[in-house]
Structure 1
Amino acid sequence: MSISPTHAADDSKDQITSVTAVLSAGGTPLQSFKPLAGICEAWCGLHLYPNDMKRQVISYHYCSMLDEDRRQCLVYDSNCEHAKLIAVEYIISQKLFESLDENEKKFWHSHKYECESGMLVQVAKSMVPEMVVGAAEIPALQNLCNTYGKTIQLWPVDDQGTCSSKVPCGPPQILASFTADDQVRPEMLEKRDKAMGIETEKKRQERQGHVQGNPPAEGADQWFVKGKAWQIYDQGDRGVVEQ
């Protein structure tokens, strides 16, 4: 899938008029932001398009808990003030995943590999020591390891993993998570590690023997397990795969 060219993307990048700034700042004391107050987790990981594996994106997740079985996450392309909201991800427990019908399961991916491999990391404040972050990550990752995600990408990426179009073009798309070492583009992982000042391989070593997930439940990761690489716009109203 192609996306709009980049030439128009930077016309007003990071530019905010005085009127816009005043409206933004002035409304804050008067308005309620209760749904955002529930955000209690910040993670950085990578997603890929299952029908085009070279298209991969670094994703910053800010998640709130609905209950023991459900999380919901706003996904951005960076952790900066003017980051683009590029996707949403819903995360559910294995118990809830196994209750889904077979057609619905194909939209969901497992988190076992992400958690164990070091690919999923917490987004910490700059002054927090890495040792403290690493210790906090372990129990949080073990809690996530046996969950399943449904990621709906709203802002498409180009071949460099950048949301370079001025607006989110095209239909929403389902993204997947990685399930093996040879799937991620090394330059994408290096870019993420450099931005966060971490080493994925070191994270992996720290988690050995401490973060361990169940084998992914049957029905998840169908793009990889069954080789059914599809997208929403290919499959009709409900995304039903023809047998």
Structure 2
Amino acid sequence: MSPGVEHRPSPVRAAGGPKGAWLTLLDKGADVLQPAAPLKAFDVYVAGLHCGRDDPAMQMEAHHYAKVVNGDLLQCVIFDGNTADANLIGIEYIVSGELFDGLPEEEKGYWHPHNYEVLSGQLSAPGLPQAVETSLMRQLLNSYGKTWHTWHTGTHAAPGHDLPLGGANLMWSFNRDGEADEGLRTDFESSLGLDSAAKRETRAQLRSAARPQRGVDLLEDAFTGTTPVPGVQDAG
């Protein structure tokens, strides 16, 4: 764990017994003899919240470890925590607004917008200096993510399954204040030492560059008592 980043363990313990001697030997051999080049570039840590596109009540933390492929594409592996025992729960591909605009129309429905996550302060890069984090968020402004979760381990208040069950779930972003469960949000922020209100104030400088995005209003009817955030607007 990097200095200055609070530990956030997984909400569940995976089913199964201890590793045993043969797995300990395997781990040691793999560390010395086998390359792990594809994994080394997944070195950008971003934490946020996700909900199910078809089941918005299914909400959870998402700890992304991202590889910056180029200025328009990121690849992320997603865990339910940021410690060594965290479970791999999904993947996310992130594209710039320009790449999104070039997608086939039928494909665009799989991709969720990111402007609320950025401008609300909900998305963070724990451990990065504020100026660096704000620069990263500027790059993520107007971007879209395609996210599949394969394991619902729940939240720290209500753990989910101890094994990945069922099919993959297409995930979505929150797009208004009040959509994320308040207990989930406050537990997430307090555990990582985050101040989304302060981040929101800092990122207000990004609003002028925010463009209307597809999918902002997709789940509007699934929530009540929500409040829009300046700069977050549906393109439709």
**What's the TM-score bracket when you normalise by the shorter of the two chains?**
0.7 to 0.9
AA at the equivalent of 2:51 = L
Alignment correspondent of 1:223: 218
Q: Distance in 2 between matches of 1:21 and 1:155?
A: 25
Return closer, same or farther for 1:74/1:213 CA change in 2, 3 Å cut-off: farther
Q: Distance in 2 between matches of 1:221 and 1:106?
A: 11
Normalising by structure 2, what TM-score? 0.80
AA at the equivalent of 2:92 = E
What is the correspondence of 1:35-74 to structure 2 with a 5 Å cutoff? 35-74=38-77
Match of 1:123 among 123, 126, 141: 126
Partner of 1:223: helix, strand, or coil? coil
Return closer, same or farther for 1:159/1:59 CA change in 2, 3 Å cut-off: closer
What is the correspondence of 1:150-161 to structure 2 with a 5 Å cutoff? 150-158=146-154
Return closer, same or farther for 1:221/1:105 CA change in 2, 3 Å cut-off: farther
Partner of 1:61: helix, strand, or coil? strand
Q: What's the CA shift for 1:212?
A: 5.2
- Which structure 2 segments of 5+ residues have no match? 1-11, 223-236
Q: Distance in 1 between matches of 2:173 and 2:157?
A: 15
C-alpha contact 2:14 2:163 (8 A) present in aligned 1: no
AA at the equivalent of 1:41 = V
Is the aligned partner of 1:166 residue 2:162? yes
Alignment correspondent of 1:194: 190
Q: Can you list the C-alpha shifts for 1:20-75, whole angstroms capped at 9, x where unaligned?
A: 22321221111111111212311000000122222211010001122222110000
Partner of 1:29: helix, strand, or coil? helix
What is the correspondence of 1:62-211 to structure 2 with a 5 Å cutoff? 62-124=65-127, 133-158=129-154, 164-210=160-206
Q: Distance in 2 between matches of 1:212 and 1:157?
A: 38
Q: Distance in 2 between matches of 1:208 and 1:48?
A: 25
Q: Distance in 2 between matches of 1:50 and 1:72?
A: 20
Alignment correspondent of 2:28: 25
- Which structure 1 segments of 5+ residues have no match? 1-7, 125-131, 229-243
Partner of 2:212: helix, strand, or coil? coil
Q: Distance in 2 between matches of 1:189 and 1:99?
A: 34
AA at the equivalent of 1:141 = M
Q: What's the CA shift for 1:157?
A: 4.4
C-alpha contact 2:61 2:155 (8 A) present in aligned 1: no
Q: CA RMSD in A?
A: 2.4
AA at the equivalent of 1:201 = A
